């Protein structure tokens, strides 16, 4: 376990412009690779319903609880994982297209999870850096970045277009890590077991949040070294959480 890392300089008073905050580079700066769906925005149940409707459109019966268990995978992985390789081979692209249409009807309902922006602000105020690592479609990611008002808070964001294989493969994590290569330490923050598995494959520790509907025991079982209720809970304990989780950048 690494030692607790104090802020390199005191954060400015509330209301100060972001450029008055600590420069987010070098030193003991942590690079946080932050999932979006279920971690920062309350989307997991809308995605579950959208996928359920998409499977039904094509005559594939799938109980919604099975879909929910696969939240955190991108669409490229989810169809086969939920319905099998045969359905993926015959109908994968059609089901993904249907899901996109159904989810587009629901995305307007999406709200931020408690503490979502506070977590990003807390990272930035300490001089840490963050990349939002999502396997959602780019237009959805851009919608969430605007909902979070986070364009000035994070270094970058990824989407499904940035990699060939989404979580639980480590590609998205590795792509995000490249943007944080000059950080001293890295950590993944996510809400599903798939985030933890992908992080482990990339050699980066993970913090899990319960806000996506996965249990603390299964998040720990998948490799999370810390579990918090939601982004607000993590933001309130951020220094201790990062001291216990973030590890040196794999070289
Ligand atoms: Mg997620």
227 bridge partner residues: 208
Identify whether residues 205 and 101 lie together within a single domain: no
Cα–Cα distance measured from residue 87 to residue 85, given in angstroms and rounded to the nearest whole number: 6
Give a yes or no: residue 36 inside a domain.
yes
Identify whether residues 85 and 135 lie together within a single domain: no
pLDDT score, position 1 = 34
> What's the CATH code of the domain at 86?
1.10.150
Give a yes or no: residue 6 inside a domain.
no
Identify whether residues 71 and 165 lie together within a single domain: no
Closest by CA to 209, choosing from 201, 196, 198, 200, is: 196
Å from CA of 145 to ligand 1 middle? 15
Identify whether residues 147 and 82 lie together within a single domain: no
Å from CA of 73 to ligand 1 middle? 8
Identify whether residues 134 and 73 lie together within a single domain: no
Å from CA of 71 to ligand 1 middle? 7
pLDDT score, position 137 = 87
Å from CA of 10 to ligand 1 middle? 32
Identify whether residues 54 and 68 lie together within a single domain: yes
Question: Can you give the pTM of this predicted structure?
Answer: 0.87
Which of 93, 109, 125 terminates a domain? The answer is 109
Cα–Cα distance measured from residue 108 to residue 120, given in angstroms and rounded to the nearest whole number: 22
Q: What is the DSSP string of the chain?
A: -PPP---SSPPPPTT--GGGSPP-SSTT-EEEEE--BTTTB--HHHHHHHHHHHHHHTT----HHHHHHTBTB-HHHHHHHHH-HHHHHHHHHHHHHHHHHHHHHHGGG--BPTTHHHHHHHHHHTT-EEEEE--S-HHHHHHHHHHHT-TTT-SEEE-GGG-SS-TTSSHHHHHHHHTTTT-SEEEEEESSHHHHHHHHHHT--EEEEGGGS--HHHHHHTT-SEEESSHHHHHHTHHHHHHHH-EEPP-
pLDDT score, position 155 = 93
pLDDT score, position 17 = 53
Which of 109, 130, 153 terminates a domain? The answer is 109
pLDDT score, position 13 = 45
Identify whether residues 227 and 120 lie together within a single domain: yes
Give a yes or no: residue 4 inside a domain.
no
Tens-digit pLDDT string for the chain (251 aa): 333 333 334 444 445 555 555 654 446 889 999 999 999 999 999 999 999 999 999 999 999 999 999 998 888 899 999 999 999 999 999 999 999 999 999 999 999 999 999 999 999 999 999 999 998 889 999 999 999 999 989 999 998 888 888 888 899 999 999 999 888 899 999 999 999 999 999 999 999 999 999 999 999 999 999 999 999 999 999 999 998 885 655 55
Give a yes or no: residue 135 inside a domain.
yes
pLDDT score, position 23 = 58
Identify whether residues 117 and 229 lie together within a single domain: yes
Total domains, the chain: 2
Identify whether residues 99 and 131 lie together within a single domain: no
Å from CA of 9 to ligand 1 middle? 32
Give a yes or no: residue 9 inside a domain.
no
Cα–Cα distance measured from residue 43 to residue 171, given in angstroms and rounded to the nearest whole number: 22
Give a yes or no: residue 242 inside a domain.
yes
pLDDT score, position 9 = 40
Domain ranges, residue 70:
44-109
Identify whether residues 57 and 27 lie together within a single domain: no
Give a yes or no: residue 238 inside a domain.
yes
Give a yes or no: residue 3 inside a domain.
no
Identify whether residues 61 and 99 lie together within a single domain: yes
Which of 109, 140, 163 terminates a domain? The answer is 109
Å from CA of 176 to ligand 1 middle? 15
Q: CA-CA distances (angstroms) from residue 177 to 16, 83, 222? A: 29, 31, 20
pLDDT score, position 72 = 86
> What's the CATH code of the domain at 134?
3.40.50.1000
């Amino acid at each position: 376990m690494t030692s607790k890392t104090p802020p390199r300089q005191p954060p400015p008073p509330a209301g100060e412009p972001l450029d008055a905050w600590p420069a987010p580079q070098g030193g003991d700066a942590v690079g946080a690779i932050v999932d979006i769906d279920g971690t920062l925005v309350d989307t997991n149940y809308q995605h579950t319903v959208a996928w359920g409707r998409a499977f039904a459109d094509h005559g594939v019966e799938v109980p919604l609880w099975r879909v929910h268990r696969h939240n955190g995978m991108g669409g490229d992985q989810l169809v086969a994982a939920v319905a099998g390789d045969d359905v993926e081979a015959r109908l994968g692209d059609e089901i993904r297209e249907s899901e996109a249409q159904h989810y587009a009807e629901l995305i307007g309902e999406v709200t931020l999870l408690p503490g979502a922006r506070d977590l990003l602000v807390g990272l930035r105020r300490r001089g840490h850096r963050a990349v939002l690592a999502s396997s959602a479609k780019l237009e959805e990611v851009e919608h969430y970045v605007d909902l979070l008002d986070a364009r000035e808070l994070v270094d970058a964001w990824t989407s499904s277009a940035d990699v060939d294989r989404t979580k639980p493969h480590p590609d998205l994590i590795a792509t995000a890590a490249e943007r944080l290569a000059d950080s001293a330490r890295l950590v993944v923050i996510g809400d599903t077991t798939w985030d933890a598995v992908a992080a482990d494959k990339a050699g980066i520790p993970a913090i899990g949040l319960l806000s996506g509907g996965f249990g603390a025991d299964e998040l720990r079982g998948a490799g999370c070294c810390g579990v918090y209720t939601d982004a607000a809970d993590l933001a309130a304990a951020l220094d201790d959480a990062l001291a216990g989780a973030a590890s040196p950048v794999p070289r």
